[in-house]
């Protein structure tokens, strides 16, 4: 059995999701998000992300972690702040000797929906189908679960996640 932690980094709301995989069957474990108050100083917001992720890791004990690769936006200040949040999100599993793998957004969408240009609503719908009983807390948590599913699909290329022959335990 392998536990995968999916991470969708953001300074305002970092999403996280945990799935278990055993014998090519995925199972939803947990999800959530880490909101930070924009009125707090940047170091406090980053510390909040760190400490919450530490709690998630200590509680769920994932074996592997996966994160969405950064995209550039037109606002340099926002890009730098996102980079700082990503640094914390990448570093936290590393502190626990958990390997971290990055995936491009289009690869994540393709692994979950079958189309690299899928809409957020399509991704969330497929996450709920692939992980029965899963009700993600918000879009960030849904994206984090999609990242975990993508990571698993990269480890198990033979599984057709969008097919009807897929079973969850």
Distance CA(145)–CA(126), nearest Å, equals 10
The partner residues of 3 in beta bridges, in order of sequence, read: 20
165 is known as an active-site residue: no
For the chain, how many residues are written? 169
* Given the residues 20, 31, 64, 68, the one annotated as active site: 68
* Inter-CA distances, 64 with 88, 94, 135, 137, 149, Å: 16, 10, 22, 22, 12
* Inter-CA distances, 68 with 23, 37, 77, 110, 147, Å: 25, 23, 20, 13, 7
H helix or E strand, kind and range, residue 27: strand 25-35
140 is known as an active-site residue: yes
68 is known as an active-site residue: yes
* Given the residues 20, 124, 140, 143, the one annotated as active site: 140
Distance CA(112)–CA(45), nearest Å, equals 31
C-beta of residue 130 within 8 angstroms of C-beta of residue 168: yes
Q: Which residues are catalytic?
A: 8, 68, 140
């Amino acid at each position: 059995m392998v536990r995968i932690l999916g991470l969708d980094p953001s300074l305002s709301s970092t999403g996280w999701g945990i799935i278990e995989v055993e014998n090519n069957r995925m199972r939803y474990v947990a999800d959530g998000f880490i909101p930070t108050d924009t009125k707090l100083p940047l170091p406090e917001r980053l510390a909040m992300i760190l400490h919450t992720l530490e709690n998630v890791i200590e509680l769920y004990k994932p074996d592997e972690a996966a994160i969405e690769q950064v995209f550039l936006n037109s606002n340099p200040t926002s890009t730098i702040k996102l980079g700082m949040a990503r640094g914390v999100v990448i570093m936290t599993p590393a502190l626990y000797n958990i390997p971290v793998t990055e995936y491009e957004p289009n690869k994540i969408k393709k692994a979950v929906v079958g189309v690299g240009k899928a809409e957020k609503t399509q991704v969330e719908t497929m996450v709920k189908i692939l992980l029965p009983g899963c009700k993600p807390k918000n879009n960030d948590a849904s994206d984090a679960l999609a990242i975990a599913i993508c990571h698993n699909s990269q480890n198990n290329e033979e599984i057709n996640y969008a097919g009807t022959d897929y079973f969850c335990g």
